Amino acid sequence: MKIALVHRRFTTNGGTERYLVGFARWLVAAGHQPVVLCNEVREDLRAEPGVRFVHLPLWRPTPFLKLTSLWISASRALGAESWDAVMGFGRTGGHQLFRAGGGSHVAALRQEHPLRRWLSPADWLEMAIDRRAVHVARICIANSELGARGLRQDYGAKRVEVVYNGVDLERFSPDPTQRARVRDELGVQGPLALFVGNGFRRKGLDTAIAALPAGWTLGVVGNDAAWAAAPGVRFLGGQREPERLLRAADLLVLPTRYDPFANVCLEAMACGVPVITTPWNGAAEVLPEPWMTVEGVEATRAAWSRVEPGGIGTALGARSRAIAEGFTTGRSYERAFELLRAAGVS
């Protein structure tokens, strides 16, 4: 099949982007012809075997123009060729299958800014384009029940299928030897928790820092604006190999305000690392214990205190790994392709 995959970027920086790259590779391995329509391609991915790229020009002066031009550019490019199926990954049209990895923009605004009384023109446009993208599609994919509810309630989506993210179980796996080595490199003596994600406010870094128990170190992985230093907190910047740090951790804490499904939670679990997060993260749907899903500083600290350091060496770490083993990338891509083929049938 000749399949169009449409998104703004082809890179591995971001959950949707990693899914797109992985799915394109899976399609090639399965004998299909993926064509990626995008504006940006990471330099080391330009020669991706079996993948053809079509450039989508963007007007960048304002968010409003960028969003509008992406929709126009994608529509023109899709109309210039014939396709067996079209799958959208972002705010574009012309697709039969729409994977809404970011969930509902309405839900995101509601959770991130509960007291906000105004919306920017870009916010209104994002909501309008999201709604249009949902209604254009014959089938929508959400990566959690949380995301599916948002698409139905906020945009009136008719058919939404939940396809959970998968995780690379070889890349993200326990490694006691590397665990000890990385902890030595970091100079960490006691228990180590990680916070991983860009956009520190939305991901709830303020809550994680406020809930940090005595004796623990909190390693912050990600890129964002400067954040005030705090006792016990180590800012580690962006990481091309987050699995090294995850293997060294005793806990992943992500008090996010809204995440349809934070991939890092599944990646941590695959490394044998327990996760504490909020009900506004779709990844909470796959955690082994209800008490690992909490809101607020005090509840986060109380849950944190129940975690026994030791990673995969603890019962909770072993259960986390066992759950992750049921969420392979192959299974996720196979289900997405089944839905793509169904959506592409006239």
State whether residue 261 is helix, strand or coil. Answer: coil
Number of neighbouring beta carbons within 10 Å of residue 302: 15
pTM: predicted TM-score of the whole model, two decimal places: 0.91
Q: What is the pLDDT of residue 54?
A: 97
pLDDT at 33 exceeding the cut of 70? yes
pLDDT at 125 exceeding the cut of 70? yes
Q: Specify the CATH class of 2-166+329-344 in words.
A: alpha beta
pLDDT single digits (tens) 58-86: 987 777 788 889 999 999 999 999 999 99
Which residues are 85's β-sheet partners? 3
Q: What is the pLDDT of residue 124?
A: 82
pLDDT single digits (tens) 135-175: 999 999 999 999 999 999 999 999 999 999 999 999 999 99
CA distance 316 to 251: 10
Maximum distance among all Cα pairs of the chain, rounded to whole angstroms:
61
CA distance 202 to 283: 16
pLDDT single digits (tens) 283-329: 999 999 999 999 999 999 999 999 999 888 899 999 999 999 999 99
**2-166+329-344 matches 176-324 in fold:** yes
DSSP characters for 21-85? HHHHHHHHHTT-EEEEEESEE-GGGTT-TT-EEEE-----SSHHHHHHHHHHHHHHHHHTS--SE
pLDDT at 246 exceeding the cut of 60? yes
Q: Where are the domains of the chain?
A: 2-166+329-344, 176-324
Give the CATH superfamily of 176-324: Glycogen Phosphorylase B; (3.40.50.2000)
For the residues 189-216, what does the mean pLDDT come to?
94
pLDDT at 115 exceeding the cut of 60? no
For the residues 223-241, what does the mean pLDDT come to?
87
pLDDT at 116 exceeding the cut of 70? no
pLDDT at 331 exceeding the cut of 80? yes
CB-CB contact of 70 with 58 (8 Å): yes
pLDDT band at 55; cut points 50, 70, 90: very high
CA distance 168 to 329: 6
pLDDT at 43 exceeding the cut of 70? yes
Number of neighbouring beta carbons within 10 Å of residue 54: 16
User: What are the C-alpha distances in Å from 329 to residues 163, 234, 322?
Assistant: 11, 31, 15
pLDDT band at 122; cut points 50, 70, 90: confident
Q: What is the pLDDT of residue 117?
A: 60
**CA quadruple 146, 296, 229, 201: dihedral positive or negative?**
positive
CB-CB contact of 148 with 162 (8 Å): yes
For the residues 202-216, what does the mean pLDDT come to?
95
For the residues 321-346, what does the mean pLDDT come to?
93
